[in-house]
Structures are given as structure tokens and as C-alpha cells.
Structure 1
Amino acid sequence: MTHVAVINYGPRHDYAAMLPELADRLHVFSHHRLTGTAALASYEYVEDCESVPYPELRIRGLARDTGLAHVITDNEYDLERAARIRADLGLPGQSPASALSFRDKAVMKETARRTVPTAPFRRLADITDLTGFIAEQGYPVVVKPVKQGGSRDISVLHDDDALLAFSRRPWRDDLMAEGFVEGPMYHVDAVVAPGYRFVAASRYLRSCLGVFSGHNNGSVQLHPVRDPFARRLEEFLDRVLEAFETPATAAYHLEVFHTPDDELVLCEIASRVGGDRIPALTRLTYGVDLHTAWLRQSVGLPAAPPPSAPPAAVHGSVSILPQGRPVAAPERPPFPWVRHYETNENLAAGAVAQNSTSYLCFAIVEGADAAQVEQRLLETEAWLMDRVRDTEVPAP
């Protein structure tokens, strides 16, 4: 029988619904507590799942006891672990070398610059590597961990005072520096498999780093036909992938700078589905569930074909950040083009943004093209911000 091991991150994934043909042979180890797990062969919530070796040990036991045909994960931080297990067990899928090239941002840029422009970069062993890079490139400079995500732990150094402040923090041995690139950032989200290709392009409403200075963030989809820049971004994705060892079936989340002199410059590429509201926006516009399309084909099951006709409308999202003080999220905006509104019921009172996906509430809007979507997002954002209300912290 074909058994499949899954290291899950998505808090709402229903694997029995995504992979019904294999439900009674699925063994799921999850970062989050899932519902709808009764039909699975086995399921475990694993505390600190991505940090402890328990899932790997259990998966190797399953391979010995039941046999395994596939090991899959939806989590960027587990891509290398899953690849290592597959290589050891002789299973198909992304190799350890491929996983590393999409995870380690220094290796990624070294690989990608064979076919596309990247910002100047340097892996940092100590502070003198950083000061030497600044002497060569000038300010501003971006410093970040090579394997972090969600804009976590990123610093932008604009001058010597910022460098001195940065030097007061404990040094990490996983840092790199890169030159700051001016211009808006776009993202391209894709699933590619034998006989299957889906690609969608979008623009971030604002810089993902803006959350750490209090700027709300979001994303605006480009219409694949009405906006010719979408095709240019798709072609850039293909050029990037030419430099990499790629698995037969993969999902990709590519981030690209568009500079003032009209150059496209790679920021990063990951071999997984984009986070935040990207999967929801893609379902609304194209009817494509990125996770389902990726994971079904990764275990040899067919996926519904991507749409052949262009969408009638596109979508965008705006997330209102935690305010750093106890507040109540507003009610749903009254605009007819708001397709979805959600508040964060698990947000602690007085929370601040921890990463680029942090939110107090978010809205998804619909429009004919990117310009209309952006205008509606800004109107929705203004309406929501005007109605964020301070609230009292409940007495202990």
C-alpha cells in the first residue's frame, strides 16, 4: 500500500479533503492542532514541530514498519529535513541540494545570479565582514539571517549610528548583508508539474519591512491579460528557475524588485506556496488552491487543471497591524467589493507586529484591475484605521 508522511504547518489544512484517495494512508505530524483528522491513518500534534527531531524519527520508523512512497511538507522550514529523509529512503521529490539552494539566501543568490540580476551580497562571519561590505557598497545595507522568513529579524542600516546600534545586539552566525534595492516589490506564485503550469503575478501594497515601522501591508494582483507587466514577471521566473536544480513538481514564491531604471532584480525565491493572504487571493481569482495543486501532484495524484480563460476580476488584501496597545478590531467594512473580512481572535492585547504576516484584521477586495483594487484597498484601509478603538484590558 502507498503510505505518505506529511510534516504540516498550515493551521487549517484538511488533508483528508485534499488527498481523499490516500486519506487512510496519510501520517500527519503537525505544527498546529488540526480538525478533520479522524480519517487519517495517523495524526499527531507535535509541539515545537520544526525544532525537534521527533517527526523525522517517527517517519523513519514508518518507513521501516509500513513502507513509504512519499514524504511531503508545506513548511519552508521543513523543506531540507523532508529532502534529507527522501534522499536517505530513496524516495522521489526535491533533493537536499535543491532544498538548500532555495532555503539559504546566500546560496540562493549565488545560484540565481547566473541567469538574473541580484543585489550585491556577502555572508557575514563577523562584524568586520559587515563593515567591509558597507565600505564597498555604502548605505543603506540590509542584514538578515540566511534561512529566516516572513521578514523576521531583518535590519536595514542607513548610517553609522544604525550600525552602532546594531552592534549592541548579540551576534548571530547565520547572517548575510545585501545592498538595498530601490523600487516596488512584486511577487510571483506558481505551481509547476509535468503537464501542469500555473503562474500568477502580484505587487506588494507596501514593503514587507514596513510592518516594523507601523505600516500596514498587503498585496495587489496583476491581471494576467490587462497588465503586460504580469507576463514580464512570469518570464523572469522562468529565467530564475533556469539556474536551479528543480524537482519535477514544485510550488514557487518569487519576490522581485522593479528598480527606477526599469530593471528586475531578484529579492528571493522559495520552493513553497506563498504565505499571508496569497492562497486565499489565488482561490478567489483563479479557483486554484495552491497547496492542493502542489501536494496532490507531489504524491502522484492528478490536480484540477488551471483555468484557460483570464479571470473577470482580480483581488487584493490589506492587513491592519497590531497596534501595540489593547484595541478592538472594527466591524466588517460596508463596501460591496469587500469579498472577505477576518479579525485575529488569537491576538494578545497590546501585541506588536512580529513579522510581515502579523495582523489585527484583514480585508480582501475585488476589482477589474490592479489600479482599481489598490484604490479600493486604500479606501478600505482608511475606513478600518478610523474605527480601530482602544479597549480595556480584562482584569486578571
Structure 2
Amino acid sequence: MPKLLLLEAMGNTGEYILDAARHLNAEIIVVTHEDVHEDWYSPTLKAKIAEYGKLVFADFSDSEGALRQLKELARAEGVDGVVAGWEFLTPLVARLAADLGLPGNDPTRSLSCRNKRIMARAFTEHGIPAPRTVAARDLGEAYTLVRSAGLTYPVVVKPSEQSGSWGVSVVSDDEELADAFVVAQSHIFQMPHGIPLDPHVIIQEYVGGTEFSIETVAVRGAVTPLFPYDKFTTGGAKRAEYGHTVPAELDAAQVAVLQEAAVAAARAVGITNGVAHTELKLLPDGTTRIIELGARLPGDHVVALMRQARGIDEARIYVQIALGQEPVLTPTADTAAGIRFLTPPRGGTLRSVTGLGDCDAVALSKMTVPPGGRVRAPGDNDSRVGYVILHADTAAEVNAAAAQVLANVSIEVV
């Protein structure tokens, strides 16, 4: 029986990886911190690990110490593959896999898959179409770099190493840039593990067009793109994600443009064995710009959407690659699926969510914050209170049903 080492199962991709490993008859060892397991793991996740996994504790805030500990563990256990269920640990996974002689990404370029400052440099060096980007340690430097680079407002401001649209702002003048800079630099440790983050703040050229996501799969350096899918974000100064539809309704030429760019981006940052999640925009002139890439599975239950719509299980693919097995990438279904997140109108205490009603396309609806729970003001992905998953024959039908569902929902906050 092969053994798989999973660094951090927290988050919705962790369960998908656990289930995939079980279906592949692999023994799984989950590594987390004791406090994180106690406070952040759901009862369902804890039960799955207890049923068909093994639990080990480590301190990920000390990457060198964790690397030494995990190499000893992997060699003692005879581990056959290493994966990350949390994107902040993807560089550690690349280094660990390389030291163990197991399938993984290029460890010398692994930070470019996580750190947007280093990523932008790699994109420039390899001629990847991406927004012009500068990175500053303080506001004065930011103003100087913006002007020297010839950037004009609006610009996008974001932390170098955060996730979930946290701290991302679109700003229109110097004053807004100052405010956004403070927010983007306000958290330099990633919780709950306390991992130190790059304090640089990214300022990027604002790119119009329509945003999409696409997954790529790499096996021994050969990179294969999957299909693009819709990514829906809020407008205005804050750009939180509120949904996805798999696949996107695009013509063959548009799909080819997005796929070609995603493959080039994956190669530029050293994706050689594993999966990559790429966010990019299609411009009105038919060209594209890569926004960012992560050496990880997609979040937001996109793994489930892809499986439902196309019969492709990316979590299974990820585990197979890590274990040195050959993944199957051929779709076995030809339908569409989507997810829409429920977001409160403001922060406060959630009183009720009403109006979900009945819709033939709704496959699942779930509340993630109970009545009486505290909710954040809208602005990033942490403000969500629930979600709805939809399934239909076409993306157009999914999007129409999703619009109907969201129009009827009322979220009351006091």
C-alpha cells in the first residue's frame, strides 16, 4: 500500500485529498499543528483522519525545523508521495519531495508559485503576458516605483503572500493607495500557523477584460491544460470572489489562448510534477494576462464542480502524480456546474438567511455560519456565510439558475 504525506488538511481541499487517497488505497499521514487540529478542524475532517489516516504534529512557522522533522518522518515511514492541502506550504512540499527523491515541483523556483513579488519577476523573465508589477516595502517607495514604472490609476494593491482576496484593493488615486497599502501590509504572519510572510506590497497595472481560472497538470515536466472556467468577483474597490461556473462558455480560439498562457506560466515557475491553479483575464482584443498562479488544487469546492460537470477528479490526479502514478485526464461527462457564495450586506451578527427556495438546478445549499454567528463586512472571501452548488446541462443554464437563486436570497444581519 503506498503512503502519502499530506501537509495540512485544513480547508476544503484537505477532505478531497483524503478521499482521493482512500479511493486509491493509499495510506495517508496528515501533518498539522496540535492547536490547529484542535481549533480549526471540523468534526468530519477529524473523523476521516481517525478512520483512515494518521496524524502527526509539526511547527510550520519554522520551515527549516519542519523540513528536518518531515524528512526523518518520511524516511522512517517509507513515504511514497508528498502533497500540500494548504497553499502556504507548497514551497515546503517542493523542497521535501526533492530531498526525498519523490515527484514534485522545482524546489529552486517554488517560492515563485507562492510569492507574488517573485512570481511577477519570473513572468517578466520568461515573457509571460502579465500586468506590470512593482513591489514596495513602504509607501514612499510605492509612490516612487509607481511613477518610475509609468503606472497610472486605477492600480491593484495586494499583499505579496496572502490568499482568499484578502487585502486586495483597486485604487484610483494617491490617497486611496495609502489606505490600501496599510491594509495590505497589516498582517505579516499567516494564521493559524504563524508563518512569516513577505512584507512587500504589490502594486499592479489594472487589467480590464473578463476573468477566468484554469487548471494545469504536470507530469515529469509535460504540462497539460484543462478547460477554463468562469470566476465571478465583486466590483468596486474590493474584489472578493462570489462564484465559479465550470466550464466557461468560450469558443475554441479563446480556450486555446487561455490554455497556452496557463501552460507557459506553469513552466515559468517550475511546475514539473503536480497541479497548478491559474487566474487570468481575457481582454477584448483576444489576448490574455496572467494574474497569478498557485501550485495547488483550486479552492471554493471547484474540485467538486469539475468532478460533477466533467467527471475529472483533480484531487485524485494530484495524489496520483505525487505517488508516481499516471493520471487520467479525459473527461467522462459533458455538463456544467457552479457555485455561488452567500455574502452579508455588512458585518455584525447573522440573524437569518431566507429565500433560497426550490430550484431544479440546485444540487446543494449549505450555511457555513449559523444564526447568531458573527460575520465580517463584505470585502474578501472570509465574509461568506454559505454557498449554493448548481448543476445543469450547460453553463448558461447554471448561470441563469444562479442569478435567480441569488436574487431571491435575503441575508439579515443585526
TM range (shorter): 0.7 to 0.9
Match of residue 111 from structure 2:
100
Match of residue 89 from structure 2:
78
| Alpha-carbon spacing, 1:333–1:97, altered in 2? closer, same or farther (3 Å) | farther
Deviations 1:185-217 (A, max 9, x none): 11112333369956021122234x76947x771
TM-score by length of 2: 0.80
Match of residue 129 from structure 1:
141
Match of 1:229 among 249, 254, 273: 254
| Alpha-carbon spacing, 1:132–1:180, altered in 2? closer, same or farther (3 Å) | same
Q: SS of the residue aligned with 1:177?
A: strand
| Alpha-carbon spacing, 1:199–1:357, altered in 2? closer, same or farther (3 Å) | farther
Match of residue 51 from structure 1:
61
Post-superposition shift, 1:281?
1.2
Match of residue 398 from structure 2:
373
- The separation in 1 between residues aligned to 2:208 and 2:103, in whole angstroms, is 40
Match of residue 301 from structure 2:
277
Match of residue 180 from structure 1:
206
Match of residue 7 from structure 2:
7
- The separation in 2 between residues aligned to 1:308 and 1:3, in whole angstroms, is 27
- The separation in 1 between residues aligned to 2:363 and 2:170, in whole angstroms, is 35
Larger deviation: 345-354 or 145-154?
345-354
| Alpha-carbon spacing, 1:333–1:133, altered in 2? closer, same or farther (3 Å) | farther
| Alpha-carbon spacing, 1:24–1:293, altered in 2? closer, same or farther (3 Å) | closer
Post-superposition shift, 1:245?
2.5
Contact kept in structure 2, 1:316 and 1:364, CA below 8 Å: yes
Deviations 1:168-197 (A, max 9, x none): 666773222111111221111233336995
Match of 2:411 among 385, 388, 391: 388
Q: SS of the residue aligned with 2:49?
A: coil
| Alpha-carbon spacing, 1:368–1:165, altered in 2? closer, same or farther (3 Å) | same
- The separation in 1 between residues aligned to 2:209 and 2:140, in whole angstroms, is 29
Q: SS of the residue aligned with 1:36?
A: helix
Relative contact order, higher structure (CA 8 A, sep 6+) = 2
**2:320 equivalent to 1:307:** no
Match of residue 202 from structure 1:
229
Q: SS of the residue aligned with 2:212?
A: strand
Matches within 5 A, 1:279-298: 279-298=303-322
- The separation in 1 between residues aligned to 2:173 and 2:62, in whole angstroms, is 39
Match of residue 394 from structure 1:
none
What are structure 1's unaligned runs of at least 5 residues? 392-396
Deviations 1:260-314 (A, max 9, x none): 43321111111111111311211110122211211122112454x2335660x21
Post-superposition shift, 1:102?
1.1
Deviations 1:296-348 (A, max 9, x none): 22112454x2335660x212221111342323123643111112211114683
Contact kept in structure 1, 2:344 and 2:413, CA below 8 Å: no
TM-score by length of 1: 0.83
- The separation in 2 between residues aligned to 1:201 and 1:372, in whole angstroms, is 17
Contact kept in structure 2, 1:189 and 1:251, CA below 8 Å: yes
Contact kept in structure 1, 2:170 and 2:237, CA below 8 Å: no
Contact kept in structure 2, 1:216 and 1:318, CA below 8 Å: no
Contact kept in structure 2, 1:329 and 1:360, CA below 8 Å: no
Post-superposition shift, 1:148?
1.6
- The separation in 2 between residues aligned to 1:368 and 1:186, in whole angstroms, is 20
Match of residue 195 from structure 2:
none
Match of residue 31 from structure 2:
29
Aligned residues: 382
- The separation in 1 between residues aligned to 2:281 and 2:132, in whole angstroms, is 13
| Alpha-carbon spacing, 1:41–1:388, altered in 2? closer, same or farther (3 Å) | closer
Contact kept in structure 2, 1:24 and 1:39, CA below 8 Å: no
Match of residue 127 from structure 2:
115
Post-superposition shift, 1:120?
1.0
- The separation in 1 between residues aligned to 2:237 and 2:312, in whole angstroms, is 28
Post-superposition shift, 1:218?
0.9
Contact kept in structure 1, 2:103 and 2:321, CA below 8 Å: no
Match of residue 61 from structure 1:
72
Larger deviation: 370-379 or 57-66?
57-66
Contact kept in structure 1, 2:8 and 2:85, CA below 8 Å: yes
Match of residue 193 from structure 1:
219
Match of residue 139 from structure 1:
153
Larger deviation: 26-35 or 193-202?
193-202
- The separation in 2 between residues aligned to 1:17 and 1:369, in whole angstroms, is 28
Q: Quick check: which one's helix share is greater?
A: 2
| Alpha-carbon spacing, 1:61–1:245, altered in 2? closer, same or farther (3 Å) | closer
Larger deviation: 111-120 or 65-74?
65-74
Matches within 5 A, 1:147-186: 147-166=161-180, 173-186=199-212
| Alpha-carbon spacing, 1:246–1:358, altered in 2? closer, same or farther (3 Å) | same
Q: Which amino acid aligns with 2:87?
A: E
Q: SS of the residue aligned with 2:228?
A: strand
Contact kept in structure 2, 1:319 and 1:360, CA below 8 Å: yes
